[in-house]
Amino acid sequence: MPKSRIDPTLKLITKVLSDKQGEEMQVADVSAITPLTEYYVIASANNPRKLNALKESIVEELEKNKMAIHHTEGHADSGWIIIDAYHVVVHLFSEEERKRINLDDFVLKRKDVIKL
């Protein structure tokens, strides 16, 4: 069930992605399918430099606002970066890697996932 109050970490991450022009952003409440996190945020960038800039901007804003980051994984050249902020996991993809991994279909089209 969607939360009536927007989570501050989720709000910050989606604002950064919007401000920095992350492409095709999708947000979902995945708490019904995994005990590890509450939200997935999925976004793309059209080149490795922009992908890295999105990651750096999110990490910088989370740290500046004293919001916890468990870890980051991946790098821009691989086409997939994960930012684990405990209850919010961000998946940043190159356009090609996003199509190949197809996390959108795997997660977002499930009936027990609430797309926000």
- Higher-pLDDT residue of 35, 2: 35
DSSP string, 61-103: HHHHTT----EEEEEGGGTEEEEEETTEEEEEEEHHHHHHH-H
Residue 1 lies in a domain: no
Q: What is the mean pLDDT of the chain?
A: 91
> Could you give the number of structural domains in the chain?
1
Summarize pLDDT for 14-49 with one digit per residue, the tens.
999 999 999 999 999 999 889 999 999 999 999 999
Domain extent for 44: 8-115
Residue 104 lies in a domain: yes
Q: Which residue has the tokens 């492409």?
A: 23
Are 109 and 62 a contacting pair, CB within 8 Å? no
Query: What CATH code is carried by the domain that includes residue 56?
Result: 3.30.460.10
Residue 27 lies in a domain: yes
Residue 55 lies in a domain: yes
Give the pLDDT band (50/70/90) at residue 1: very low
pLDDT above 80 (res 112)? no
Residue 109 lies in a domain: yes
Residue 2 lies in a domain: no
